[in-house]
Amino acid sequence: MRKVVVTGMGVISPVAKSVDEFSAALKAGKSGICRITQFDTEKHKVKIAGEVKDFDPSAWMDAKAARKMARFSQFAVAGAYEALTQAGLLDTSRKVNCDAERCGVVLGNGIGGFEIVAESFRKLFDAGPDRMLPLTVPLMINNEGSGNVSLVYGSKGLAYTQVTACASGTDALGQALDLIRAGRCDVVVSGGTEACITSFGVGGFERLQALSTLHNDDPTKASRPFDAGRDGFVLGEGAGILVLESEEHARGRGQPILAEFAGYGATADACHITAPEPTGESGARAIRLALADAGLKPEDVQYYNAHGTSTRINDALETKMLKAAFGEHAYKLKVSSIKSMIGHCVAAGGGLEAIASILAIREGFFPPTINLENPDPECDLDYVPNKALFGTVNAAASGSLGFGGHNGVVVFKKYSATR
């Protein structure tokens, strides 16, 4: 079976717009949660989110092309630029310099262009269909993130989008892993992208009673995974993009390798459309599958990047899940949720959290769970409270749980060259 490696990473997030800045922000425990600026929140109970600040798409792409993309597509193209640049896969015209027909794109996106949907509905109801945005459909649909990355950078292998709600980014990585192992691609640009901080998006999650409402006046305190005072998640946005390659392809061109992408596991709860399966067994099975795929035992893993949404049900359930999967080793494992700093970035979360896991391996640190001030007795593992810790990480796993009962887990290892 072909070994799959990571050669590039790109970040657009509420705390940083580059991988180096992202690493520094995680080590510092920096929060990117703030008052919403993208729309008028007067009629909303929720006033806060993890917005990407000062995002000018023309810094990464042609301004004319950017106007034909929804925000989530712009994030994907921007993140892919950093990842492809680090991987040494762009020529002077910003096109992929490998065999384009063997280079694919598999991105996760949960929601699509919500701002386009809202604007076109407003025009439809106010003035009729003739006033709708001409590009309503190609701007709003989920697949346009992967389509635009392929278009901008000239990759001609397959290009598709994984849609499994909050697990979309993680599952996209898993699909990319399988494609390279199967020999269908040599290179895949993968990860997740999302931009749903709109009145429509926030309003929808408000109606589900899923969002935090207690900290509108102190936004940086709102996302508090595993804390007894947690009251819901904070919506975020961004993109986390990775360049994945077969080891043979990366070594053949002399490219430095960041980590091995060692394993993936996925399961379905078959239980409830929004709530996770209550025993944690379904999610635990996804972890076991990922570890088996990576050829690892539970005790081989030093760090687990939790889904950790800051909701009452999820955090307690995920604690059960980790105990079921890791056994006694769960109490020795470092576990944290970077959603405490960036919010819940839906599909982008899987990509950003995978990158955080790789940074943990490469730079020897455990990102903190900030705002963990009053531990919940039901959440009794080591969640790296408030301050980053430093130590050796040989293997790290990252898990995502999505509405609809989707569970995805990816495993990364410190790279060791195949002889």
Distance CA 412, CA 76 (A): 22
Distance CA 43, CA 394 (A): 48
Distance CA 28, CA 276 (A): 31
Q: Give this prediction's pTM.
A: 0.97
pLDDT digits (tens, 9 = 90+) for 175-232: 999 999 999 999 999 999 999 999 999 999 999 999 999 999 999 999 999 999 999 9
Say what the pLDDT of residue 138 is: 85
Distance CA 276, CA 319 (A): 12
- pLDDT at residue 277 greater than cutoff 90: no
Structure tokens at 372: 């963990």
395 φ, ψ (degrees, to nearest 5): -150, 140
Say what the pLDDT of residue 127 is: 92
Name the band, by pLDDT with cuts 50, 70 and 90, for residue 1: confident
Average of per-residue pLDDT across 328-332: 98
Q: Which residues 6+ apart lie within 8 Å of 54 measured at CB?
A: none
User: DSSP characters for 349-409?
Assistant: HHHHHHHHHHHHHHHTEE--BTT--SB-TT--SB--BSS-EE---SEEEEEEEETTTEEEE
Q: Which residues 6+ apart lie within 8 Å of 368 measured at CB?
A: 26, 29, 336, 340, 384, 385, 386, 387, 388, 389
Structure tokens at 267: 């399961």
Q: Which residues 6+ apart lie within 8 Å of 217 measured at CB?
A: none
Least confident stretch, 47-51, 105-109, 184-188, 276-280: 276-280
Say what the pLDDT of residue 163 is: 97
Structure tokens at 124: 């439809």
Distance CA 31, CA 12 (A): 14
Q: Domains of the chain, with CATH numbers?
A: 4-252 (3.40.47.10), 266-404 (3.40.47.10)
CA 196 → CA 140, 201, 204, 354, distances in Å?
A: 11, 5, 10, 21
Average of per-residue pLDDT across 273-289: 93
Say what the pLDDT of residue 274 is: 84
Residues designated as active site? 166, 307, 344
User: DSSP characters for 156-218?
Assistant: -S-EEEE--GGGHHHHHHHHHHHHHHTTS-SEEEEEEEE---SHHHHHHHHHTT-B--TTTTS
Say what the pLDDT of residue 140 is: 87
Distance CA 362, CA 390 (A): 11
Say what the pLDDT of residue 117 is: 86
Please check whether residue 96 is in contact with residue 90, taking contact to mean a CB–CB distance below 8 angstroms. Answer: yes
pLDDT > 70: percent of the chain: 100
Distance CA 61, CA 288 (A): 41
Residues pairing with 235 in the sheet: 344
Say what the pLDDT of residue 276 is: 85
Say what the pLDDT of residue 136 is: 87
